[in-house]
A and B are shown apart, each in its own frame.
Chain A
Amino acid sequence: MTTLAWKNLFHDKVRLAVTLTGIVFALVLIVIQFGLFLGFLETSANVVEHSGADIWIAAPGIPHVNGGAAMPESRRFKALEVPGVARVDKFLLVFSPWKLPGGSQESVQITGFDPDGRMGGPWNVVQGSMDAVREDDAVIIDDLFREKLGIARVGDTVEISGHRARVAGFTHGIRSFTTAPYVYTSFKNALNYARLTEDQTMFLLVKAKPGIDIGNLKRRLAAAVPGVDVYTNSEMMRKTQGYWVFRTGAGVTTLLGAVLGLLVGLVVVAQTIYAATMDHIREFGTLKAMGARNRYIYRVIIEQALLSALMGYAVAITIGLLIVHGNASGTTEILLPPQMVAGTAALAVAMCVTASVISIRKATDIDPALVFKG
């Protein structure tokens, strides 16, 4: 039976190529669209995800992490008094104008963190060090945005919000889902770029003592610190992702693209597998006339679909990985985590087998005249 399924597939190389092209196209479309969506999700909240904080304290009613508002620094002392708190750092994230050497401007997101606690600081520093931001005017940017920000090397100077800034290091792979790259600096330096006063902050990042229940600590902080909203790190992530995904056109468009990719992929695979099965309809009719039971024919058809799915998947996932690899230096992130690699395999098999099942009825409900007439 495997021989028949296998040979049916490989006998007509052109047909096989057409079938595989359809499956590969559909799977690559799905993988890339969902990879973009996952990349969008990851990028939209990467600052929160990598913050290292357990709890975020923010001004009331902020929509997301990129929409923070100033609040008095004195809240920090209230938070420090709460049992279970190990550390509280000031943090700010604010859009600022970055003046290029030619005179034009780009928007950046100034990310001010405390270099002592390092919560909210950059990760994956590939040139220079995080401690470099302790120096006056020192900033760290991501090397993906060198060209956009007009930076050639460490030591280049620019102007942010009318203040001098000097590039002291580079990270790699910290993308921004907006067009404004993140610029890391110390909280002290950031106050200048953000035009905040020394007694202000936008967020307080809280580190809990080991073994402390984060949910309980959050409730205690909310009760102890007046005039703030308190979020766990995962709540801030969800809040930020939810905002960008569901409340902005960008997120909905990416999500829609992923869903449409899935639907188009389903249709393409269904049509491809259906056509491939119908190409052999006469042979299935002959088998049936000869006395093959329907389940024998089901198995041949499903085996063909499975083989097509696995071959198509192998090619598609290779192409997907190459695209992701090729995009490593791009400013838009495409994620292909292991779960998605495995999920795509399951999806390929499910789509191909389902499509073949649709055609099975045709194959097993054949007019005898079709079998007997030449």
Chain B
Amino acid sequence: MKPVIRMRKVSKTYGEGAAAVHALADVDLAVCAGDILMLCGPSGSGKTTLLSIMGGILRASRGSVAVCGEDITKLRESELPRVRLANFGFMFQGFNLFPALTAQENVEVALTLRGRSKRRARIDAAGLLEQVDLADKRAAYPADLSGGQKQRVAIARALAGDPPVLLADEPTAALDAGSGQNVMEILRRLAEQRGRAVVIVTHDSRVLQYGTRMVRIADGRIQNAAHPEETEMVEAVAV
């Protein structure tokens, strides 16, 4: 299957000279449609940097990143928002919902960013919230939602515009076991039934079972393809 994301020899260095910090070194990675790729590793290992480069938020110092066949490392800074809008939905550990907006409006923002009219955005946002079983919480503000509900709103928002890739940073870290399981079930359904590629940075051992592939990172380098003792669904990841 043709990868939706292909990273070749990607390195990222912060700073220069003696003060330089090598966050990533020669990372080769491919993510295909339907994958649920778990990125694991200790704090400061480079997981978030890898996710940021993959999502076109941060630029690689060296190497190439192709998203749906387009090499985004060759694009100008001003072109990257287009790439993010077209290809990625983002989920964050802290949910990052807009506290002043209702659940419905949070999703609408993501849709209007993609050029939907207000009316269209309203209809589509309602549909997306229904997909994550939050139809009855459309008018609720984030402060009135549980952690699990907030993350489901974040999923609905990430799905706005139907992007092929979902990038999630510790999506279950702030959730109890039940809510975390619920969120992961939704993500698995999206990968299995809708063919979305899902990349998850996580420390949470409870959710590793949902991954179809797992990559361990340490000191900015991919250590291995997978740990058989942690998951039985592992394939070689490094390409």
Which residues of A are in contact with B by a Cβ distance under 8 Å? 1, 3-4, 7-8, 10-12, 282-283, 285-293, 296, 368-369, 371-374
Contact = CB atoms under 8 A, between A and B. Distances in A.
Contacts of A3: 101, 105
Contacts of A11: 99-100
Interface string B32-75: 00000000000000001001100101100000000000000000
A251 to B, nearest CB: 49
B169 A292 contact: no
Interface residues of B, number: 35
Interface of B: 48, 51-52, 55, 57-58, 78, 81-86, 88, 90, 92-94, 96, 98-101, 105, 109-110, 112-114, 157, 169-170, 173-174, 201
Nearest to A12: B100
A283 B90 contact: no
B102 to A, nearest CB: 9
Nearest to B160: A290
B198 to A, nearest CB: 16
Given A291-B81, A291-B84, A296-B113, A372 B52 contact: yes
A224 B113 CA distance: 79
A100 B58 CA distance: 82
27 contacts: A3-B105, A4-B101, A7-B100, A282-B96, A286-B92, A286-B98, A288-B81, A290-B110, A290-B113, A291-B81, A291-B114, A293-B78, A293-B81, A296-B113, A368-B48, A368-B52, A371-B57, A372-B48, A372-B51, A372-B52, A372-B169, A373-B93, A373-B94, A373-B169, A374-B94, A374-B170, A374-B174
A104 B98 CA distance: 71
A11 B173 CA distance: 27
A4 B100 contact: yes
Contacts of A282: 96
B218 to A, nearest CB: 18
Contacts of A371: 57, 92, 96
Contacts of B94: 373-374
Most chain B CB within 10 A, of A282, A286, A287, is at: A286
B58 A368 contact: yes
Q: A-B pairs with the 10 shortest C-beta distances? A: A11-B100, A291-B85, A374-B94, A374-B93, A291-B84, A7-B100, A368-B52, A286-B96, A368-B57, A372-B169
B90 A290 contact: yes
A12 B57 CA distance: 29
B82 to A, nearest CB: 7
A290 B109 CA distance: 10
Nearest to B157: A290
B52 A374 contact: no
B39 to A, nearest CB: 12
A372 B98 contact: no
Contact of B55 (A287, A289, A293): A289
A240 to B, nearest CB: 55
Contact of B48 (A285, A288, A373): A373
Contacts of A292: 81, 113
B90 A289 contact: yes
B10 to A, nearest CB: 15
Nearest to A6: B100
B85 A7 contact: no
A4 B98 CA distance: 9
A96 B57 CA distance: 79
Contact of B84 (A7, A289, A296): A289
A174 B96 CA distance: 62
Given A4-B109, A7-B105, A289-B55, 12 more contacts: A283-B98, A283-B99, A289-B84, A290-B109, A290-B157, A291-B113, A293-B78, A368-B52, A369-B52, A372-B51, A374-B93, A374-B173
